[in-house]
Copies of this chain bind each other. A is one copy, B any other.
Amino acid sequence: MKTITLDITNALAEAVGINGIDPAEFTKTLQTISDYYAKLLAKPFPFMTLPSTRFQFDEMQALADKAARMKIKNLVLLGIGGSSLGTQTIFDALLHPFHNHEERFREEKPRYFILDNIDPHKMTAIIETIIPDLDRTLLVVISKSGETPETISQFMLFNELMKKSQGYKERIVLITDKEKGLLNKIAGKEGYRVLNLPEGVGGRFSVLTPVGLFPSALMGINIKKLSDGAAGMAAHIVRYDGEENMAFVLAAILHLMDKAAKKIHVVMPYCERLSGFADWFRQLEAESLGKKGLGPTPTKSVGVTDQHSQLQLYVDGPKDKCIILLYSATQEVPIPASFDYLEDVQYLANKDMKSLFHAEFLGTRLSLTEAQTPNISLTLDEVSDYNLGALFYLFEMVTAIMGHLLGVNAFDQPGVEQGKIYTKAMMGKKGLEKEREHTEALLLRRANTVVF
């Protein structure tokens, strides 16, 4: 097979001089990774086994079939961070871009609303949108710990709302840790259905569990194919070594870029359907590696759009970046001959938008490379369920390897705990009275402000 191609030519010293990677260091890093991976295989991280275990696939399919029989019109998903980004990525990639706008584009499937924020303005808008079909609304609540205040507060609101419609208990599904946490208690008491995350799989590594797969199954997406893609990539990583192993090569490049003070990792899909994928990777990389004063900063650009926004900086600004281009286009859109009195535009006549799109992608690569800005490209033969599954697994593996190379634990997120405590204290949670006093004192400090 040859469905995904990684091209690292323009990240090497041969192409981009001192901003590129030294071949000897590259080889050495690949060897370090290979040794590490051999140990990992003996004791894999829990996410690594997901493609082969197909955890709760039958339960998911049964619940999705039931939802189809109920002719659900709205899917409301409460979840934030790892509980929503995977689903959003899959939907962006595989559903019609105007799925929610018109019935003809969603083919009997429900509209979807992913509540990954508590912005009260947006929440009001979502509530007024779904309320006419409340009795055909399916609520999916996702929180690994069951204690995420954003998701719990939304659930309190939607729980009371759903109660106003008949048979609502059949239309609430919770996805949470196997045994622990508040969502399990709620499910037991209220009689709601529960799906789980397998043990040891954290939020940002959970897209290939019910967290990302159950909402996908509800949309008729083939979750087996997603899982097959991940399994295919897992097999590739086991089978190949060194420069033939896509995960090893990608991890080595990204790590060496970070080490060489190219600490801004720009993910730039030339493919709007992979726009969500850039956001998904943004969480995976930032939250896994951003600790102990270390870690690259991922940021998202979209080609060709951001050629007219960010490219100037990438070409001509500081050499503190590595550009990770993604490319896929299959659709053809002919450009008709028009304005035949203008010679200047005839080079576009009777060409195809796909060719122009591809020429822009190549033009960006070339101009970045000539400016000695290191860049790599991942080209997909198509944006399919299979390829998407493979990409998820690839980048999860890459991130785990980078954690090892950087010397940080890729699976915790200690830096966000303090903010959570402050928020809960300000909201008056019992037992946090001391913290509340502390925040109040901080907020009373003299502020330096300018007003308009």
Contact = CB atoms under 8 A, between A and B. Distances in A.
A248 B104 CA distance: 52
B331 A120 contact: yes
Q: What copy number does this chain have within its complex?
A: 2
Interface in A86-139: 96-98, 100-102, 105, 111, 116-127, 129
Given A8-B449, A333-B124, A450-B245, A291 B312 contact: yes
B426 A6 contact: no
Interface in A277-325: 279, 282-283, 286-287, 289-295, 297, 299-300, 302-305, 307-321
Interface string A1-31: 1111111110010000000000000000000
Interface centre among A290, A416, A452 (most CB of B within 10 A): A452
A156 B349 contact: yes
Given A7-B449, A101-B101, A286-B309, 15 more contacts: A8-B449, A85-B309, A98-B125, A156-B349, A244-B450, A283-B310, A290-B313, A291-B317, A311-B416, A311-B419, A315-B415, A359-B427, A360-B419, A367-B418, A371-B415
A159 to B, nearest CB: 5
Contact of A129 (B102, B312, B337): B102
Contact of A157 (B307, B333, B347): B333
A385 B116 CA distance: 26
A294 B283 CA distance: 27
Contact of A118 (B360, B414, B439, B450): B360
B426 A363 contact: yes
Interface string A224-258: 00000000110010000001111001100000000
A394 to B, nearest CB: 8
A119 to B, nearest CB: 4
Given A345-B156, A439-B366, A318 B335 contact: no
A442 B7 CA distance: 14
A182 interface: yes
Given A244-B450, A356-B149, A160 B305 contact: no
A150 B359 CA distance: 11
Interface in A347-366: 347-349, 351-357, 359-360, 362-364, 366
A41 interface: no
24 contacts: A7-B449, A8-B448, A101-B111, A118-B360, A119-B270, A120-B333, A120-B352, A120-B357, A121-B331, A121-B383, A123-B333, A156-B336, A157-B335, A160-B338, A189-B339, A203-B308, A263-B318, A286-B309, A286-B312, A291-B313, A297-B299, A363-B439, A367-B415, A370-B418
